Chains A and B, each alone.
Chain A
Amino acid sequence: MKKDLLGIGDLTPDEIYRILDTTEAMREIGQRPIKKVPTLRGKTIVNMFYEPSTRTRTSFEIAEKRLSADTLSIAASTSSAQKGETLADTALNIEAMAPDMIVLRHASSGAGHLLSRLCKSRIINAGDGMHEHPTQALLDAFTIREHKKRLEGLKVTIVGDLLHSRVLRSNVLLLTTLGAEVWVCGPATLLPPGIERLGVHVSTDIDEAVADADVIMMLRIQQERMHGAFFPSTREYFNTFGMTRARLKHAKPDVIIMHPGPMNRGVEIASDVADGPYSVILEQVANGVAVRMAVLYLLAGGAEGD
């Protein structure tokens, strides 16, 4: 493995499979009565969360604790960023205390790359702006593989705000690398220009995109996007792109529905779909802990031991 995990592009297909296979073992730890192993004992991990996060932050913290790492978390709202310190200076100060790894969530694309250039610590990108969220894509791939036993050849349809989504970018890179047929669908105002060059099918017709899909991944629609005139109203968005039971009928009978959270019920997804039998949304969250344990293990300890 490379020093850092900044994006899916940092991983070879073999390394992706190794992470997914290691995740199986890690998940077993979470099912024990004592959910803790000494793997990362003596390792220090700093979680720098410069953006609000519930799921990802909790997931990383639980993963770190289950591996016995010493961890601490810094939120931008309580850090020196409030006093005007730059990210570079904050990182250099933390680096001076010699942590082994830094997990960074930040609103700016490429923030992890900046840290990577400044720090010897390993950097794990926990979501940078509109760029990537690699551990989300890994947990999504793990969840898909659990249900479908493979990734190659599956039709995976990703629907929503493609332009602003880091989950989209990481998933497209990972799923196309592993041979899935990826469709992306959203309003024309929210399509990243040139996205087809990543090897995906692009459609603004949700029925076409969903037809015969094995997997449907819904992306969060941020309400503030309406002010940018990307679409007229959440009502019209739901009517045009929202996932409903009626639309699901075009998909494969054993389709699974995914969502990286947080969900806007009634905007991008109907509640009866989110809570329905096809939904694996909470499984994704559960698998997130195991995937992050695998990533932490392989980056920190596993790489040396193997």
Chain B
Amino acid sequence: MSKTLLKGGRVVDPANGRDAVFDVLIEGDRIARVGRDLPVDRGVAVVEVPSGFVVCPGLIDMHVHLREPGHEHKETVATGVAAAVAGGFTAVACMPNTSPVNDNAGVTEYILKKAAKAGLARVYPIGAVSRGQKGEQLADIAELKQAGCVALTDDGHTVATAMLMRRALEYGGMFDLPVIEHCEEPTLRADGVAHEGFQASALGLRGIPGEAESIMALRDIALAELTRGVVHIAHMSARQTLDAVRWGKSRGARVTCEVTPHHFVLTDEMLAAPVAYDTNVKMNPPLREAADRDAMIAGIADGSVDVIATDHAPHHYDEKRVEFDRAPFGITGLETAVSLCFDRLVHAGVISIARLVELLSMNPARILRVSGGSLSEGAPADISVLAPDLRVTVSAARMRSKSTNTPFDGWHLRGGVAATIVGGRTVYQNDDAAIGLLMEREGR
């Protein structure tokens, strides 16, 4: 059994209340010990972690579009997990809006087979709430659970009716599957392509008000109370939605929520400049106003926000090189999230690194009820090594994702990923912050 000792890193493990310099001993695919100045036995490969680097439980991105099956020109499971580990993520949960939709065990198993073949990040498929994501009949939820799905969603759309959402919460609850909701009241959303506000008005773009999101969040919180089900609000963007979530939590409803890096970093002013009508700032929900962006930051700081997830949504450049209103929604996120979080949250003094680890690892593991989220002894050795002070220049061209649709290309950020370890195997190491881990060959 291989043994590796990560020596001298700053271990940040909020699940175990640790934030100090510790050694971490990995034996095989497990964390064997965490302690101060652990003895170096024979046959242990010692890796000196540079001072200031963070050793934390593996990051989990619970909102990712891997596009396979069906949209392999945008991304595949293999390129998606390569992007994930390069972004410091040891696991991703992937959305079911593939073609065919992941609404049955066959698709779930196909995704898991591709993930095993890639052998990089862990992949947790999320099943559809409704068959074909059509919002009519429930998908075969027991079968999805058995095949390995960890949650349910009709992401891309809201669960179409209150009754279907009620049934999903009740029925999914039998299998401990949370329902992840893309909140969007369809008639208010209409054919909108950008946040409804001054920028959209000035540019002549059809607007989507924040209330399109908050109305649906309020519906779902009420239904979570009715059913005692668990609802997780995806990619929250509007300040009204955050208020709705706070209200639900204060009442004891089982509601959690996530925010994407782009919604706590960018605003709708990006529609006009630096590149007017840049389709790489078109996503759903849209970039909103500074007041919304600031509300997301406040929610991250005060604990109202449970998770940071990327909504990694790769699209081929041909699909994005069209008129703004014809372009698909979405941007990539896996390879920029950690740098944006450090730069805009940690170094900006909004949150501690421990809180960041809660948002990126501990809470997603808890909500999805998957392994990870802590560096407990005996747990799988899913570990991210982060370099908080690494100077990073974002380069879309150098990314491992198959797509380059990011608005952050060329940005200079402080904070990055040094290495990613999944099940004791080093699956990524950053040349700019190498710490001398022994790399295994990609794939198995």
Contact = CB atoms under 8 A, between A and B. Distances in A.
Interface of A: 86-88, 106, 108-111, 113-114, 117, 128-132, 166, 169, 192-195, 197-198
Given A109-B277, A110-B276, A113-B276, A193 B204 contact: no
Contact of B207 (A128, A169, A193): A193
Given A114-B277, A193-B196, A130 B322 contact: no
B322 A109 contact: no
Contacts of B389: none
Contact of B322 (A114, A166, A197): A114
B402 to A, nearest CB: 20
A86 B206 CA distance: 21
A106 B204 contact: no
Contacts of A106: 323
Contacts of B200: 193
Among A110, A130, A166, A192, the most chain B Cβ lie within 10 Å of the Cβ of: A110
Interface string B299-329: 0000000000000000000100111111000
Interface of A is mostly: mixed
B24 to A, nearest CB: 49
B194 to A, nearest CB: 10
A88 B321 contact: yes
B386 to A, nearest CB: 36
A111 B323 contact: yes
Given A114-B277, A130-B204, A108 B198 contact: no
A198 B201 CA distance: 10
B326 A108 contact: yes
14 contacts: A86-B321, A108-B325, A109-B325, A110-B277, A111-B323, A113-B277, A129-B204, A130-B204, A130-B205, A130-B206, A131-B204, A194-B197, A197-B198, A197-B202
B193 to A, nearest CB: 9
Nearest to B194: A109
A215 to B, nearest CB: 22
A109 B197 contact: no
Contacts of A114: 277, 321-324
Interface string B268-306: 000000011100000000000000000000000000000
Among A106, A114, A169, the most chain B Cβ lie within 10 Å of the Cβ of: A114
B281 to A, nearest CB: 12
Given A106-B323, A114-B323, A131 B198 contact: no
B25 to A, nearest CB: 54
Given A88-B322, A110-B203, A198-B202, 7 more contacts: A87-B322, A106-B323, A114-B321, A114-B323, A193-B196, A193-B200, A194-B201
Contacts of B196: 193
A113 B204 CA distance: 13
A110 B324 contact: yes
B410 to A, nearest CB: 16
A132 B206 CA distance: 14
B202 A169 contact: yes
B323 A108 contact: yes
A108 B214 CA distance: 28
Nearest to B190: A228
Contacts of A194: 197-199, 201-202
B187 to A, nearest CB: 10
Nearest to B205: A109
A133 B69 CA distance: 43
A11 to B, nearest CB: 15
Interface of B: 196-207, 275-277, 318, 321-326
Contact of B323 (A110, A130, A198): A110
Contact of A86 (B204, B276, B322, B325): B322
B328 to A, nearest CB: 13
A166 B204 CA distance: 7
Nearest to A165: B204
A113 B323 CA distance: 9
Contacts of A130: 204-206
Contact of A132 (B197, B204, B207, B324): B204
Contacts of A198: 202
B274 to A, nearest CB: 12
Contacts of A192: 201-202
A108 B206 CA distance: 11
Among B201, B206, B207, B321, the most chain A Cβ lie within 10 Å of the Cβ of: B201
A113 B203 CA distance: 11
Contacts of B277: 109-110, 113-114
B192 to A, nearest CB: 12
A109 B204 contact: yes
B323 A87 contact: yes
Among B198, B201, B204, B326, the most chain A Cβ lie within 10 Å of the Cβ of: B204
Given A113-B277, A193-B196, A131 B203 contact: yes
A193 B201 contact: yes
A4 B201 CA distance: 22
A80 to B, nearest CB: 15
A304 B332 CA distance: 44
Contacts of A129: 204, 325
A106 B322 CA distance: 12
A189 B318 CA distance: 36
Among B197, B199, B206, B324, the most chain A Cβ lie within 10 Å of the Cβ of: B324
Among B203, B318, B321, B322, the most chain A Cβ lie within 10 Å of the Cβ of: B203
A193 B205 contact: no
Contacts of A88: 321-322
> Lowest 10 A-B CB distances belong to which pairs?
A194-B198, A110-B277, A130-B204, A131-B204, A108-B323, A192-B201, A109-B204, A113-B277, A110-B324, A88-B321
Contacts of A110: 203-205, 276-277, 323-324
Among B275, B276, B318, the most chain A Cβ lie within 10 Å of the Cβ of: B276
B358 to A, nearest CB: 36
A110 B282 CA distance: 13
A95 to B, nearest CB: 14
Nearest to A191: B201
Among A109, A166, A195, A197, the most chain B Cβ lie within 10 Å of the Cβ of: A109
Contacts of B197: 193-194
Contacts of A197: 198, 202
A266 to B, nearest CB: 27
A136 to B, nearest CB: 14
A162 B397 CA distance: 42
Nearest to A117: B275
A127 B201 CA distance: 16
Contacts of A169: 202, 204
Nearest to B196: A193
A118 B201 CA distance: 25
A117 B323 CA distance: 12
Contacts of A87: 322-323
